[in-house]
Amino acid sequence: MKERRLPLNIELEKAALRAIMLGKLSIEQLHVEELSKYGQLVHKAITGLEGDTCSPKAVLIAGSELHGADPTELRAYLKAVVACDMPEIGALLDSLSRKRTINNLVNEASDQIANGQYSLLGLKTIVDEHASPKNTLVPLLKSMKDAAPPKGIHIPSLPSVNEWLNGLYGVWILQGEPAAGKSTLALQVALSVTQSRPVLYYDYEQGNEVIKWHVHQAFEGDRKKIEKYTSQLYVRPSLSSLERVASARRRSVFTVLRGRSTISAISGIVRSA
């Protein structure tokens, strides 16, 4: 039976193509058959270009002039590729690897159904082949050549913080005396980050009305700014919904937790499942 290529999730497709355009992923990591219509056109365009990296403009020209793509639609697709939330290259490769495994399982199961010879061992072998590298102990020395400073989320409103810490990553704990400005800083970070990704803002004490008033004051009632900075801000009073809300989002979600007492804000990244 002919091997089938299951389509990639569209967000994974865009992230992989962006990584290829940036020279962080090899074009051989993707099969053209598993891409969408315009994903295939971008794949073919990149294949015909020289160099380790390629600009969206070069891909647009190659895709429209050499492969007959509609320039307007291809431009819109490339814009979405450039704007997509690309995970770390290791996570991206792992997602592609897991997709390959699922694809192999589907093909193996289809073959077994077609010939009537059912074997769970055949399916288990495919799963084990994917899982075995994860169980292999590898010394840190093997990956030291790729060592680089951690790069976190850029906070547009805090350029000095970006320069000192290379963006926000991991978990931050803000501690200080009452009225020191912890909550104000946490809200400022949340509003700033909404320009690049969704933000979940959990507050144990202040109600929704209080937070709305703080935002109104911060932007001096400017309706356009308020709309711009709150369209991806989601306020929640309890942590009980954190996992459910985060897993429902396809993109990475930035989370701010505002607590009580001297430790009033915890910030971190939550990856959707």
pLDDT tens readout for residues 147-196? 777 777 778 888 887 888 787 777 777 777 777 787 788 888 888 888 87
| 3 state DSSP class of 54 | coil
Instruction: Judge whether 152 lies within some domain.
Output: no
Report if residue 197 sits inside a domain. yes
Helices 10-21 and 71-83: angle between axes, nearest 10 degrees: 90
Residues 61 and 191 in one domain: no
User: Which tens digit of pLDDT belongs to each residue from 4-36?
Assistant: 788 888 999 999 999 999 988 888 888 888 999
User: Where a domain ends, among 147, 168, 200?
Assistant: 147
Average model confidence (pLDDT) for the chain? Answer: 79
Place of tokens 């701010």: 256
Q: Which domain holds residue 124?
A: 1-147
Of the pLDDT bands very low, low, confident and very high (cuts 50, 70, 90), residue 226 is very high
What is the domain-level CATH number for residue 92? 1.10.860
**One domain for residues 116 and 54:** yes
Q: So what's the pLDDT on residue 268?
A: 45
Tell me which of 54-58, 113-117, 248-252 is least confident.
Answer: 248-252
Distances (CA, A) of 192 to 155, 253, 269: 6, 14, 15
Identify which has the larger pLDDT, 237 or 217: 217
- For the record, the structure tokens of 267 come out as 């910030």
Q: Looking at the structure, tell me whether residues 86 and 203 fall in a common domain.
A: no
- Judge if pTM exceeds 0.85: no
pLDDT band at residue 272 under the 50/70/90 scheme = very low
Q: At which of 147, 174, 208 does a domain end?
A: 147
Same domain for 61 and 84? Answer: yes
Structure tokens at 157: 């409103």
pLDDT tens, 245-263?
A: 555 554 455 566 555 444 4
Q: Are residues 139 and 171 in the same domain?
A: no
